[in-house]
Amino acid sequence: MSEKMYVVVRTDLPPNHRAVQGGHALAAVLLGGTTEWDNGPLVILGAKNEGQLLKESARLGAAGIRHAIWREPDMNNEATAIAAYAAGEVFRRRQCI
């Protein structure tokens, strides 16, 4: 399976915040130089809350998948989104939003 850019955002945030936080996570992974993404497929997925998002980040880390987590300064540095360039099977349990 080919790799895609995945952005996982918290669904407990208002829709307009989800878009912004996802954009921050995407920028963080690109600026961090952890990917060779060429603006190909982009998939936006949801995590129900910060705890679930942090579990997703830990799972990716344990699998050796480089990713970026965005913590929003205006929300007490809560984790709001993550981005990873990976094969789809690592996200098979996630729903698109």
Q: What is the pLDDT of residues 25-44, one digit of tens each?
A: 999 999 987 678 888 899 99
Q: What pLDDT sits at residue 31?
A: 92
Percent of the residues in the chain that have a pLDDT greater than 90, as a whole number: 71
Task: Give the span between the Cα atoms of 65 and 28, in whole angstroms.
Answer: 15
User: Tell me: domain 3-91, CATH 3.40.1490.10, correct?
Assistant: yes
Point out which residues pair with 4 in neighbouring strands: 86
Residues 6+ apart with CB under 8 A from 6: 43, 45, 83, 84, 85, 86, 91, 94
Residues in the chain, pLDDT under 70? 1, 34, 93-97
Question: What is the pTM (predicted TM-score) of this model?
Answer: 0.90
Q: Torsion angle, CA of 42/43/46/50, rounded to 10 degrees?
A: -40
Cβ–Cβ < 8 Å for 83, 71: no
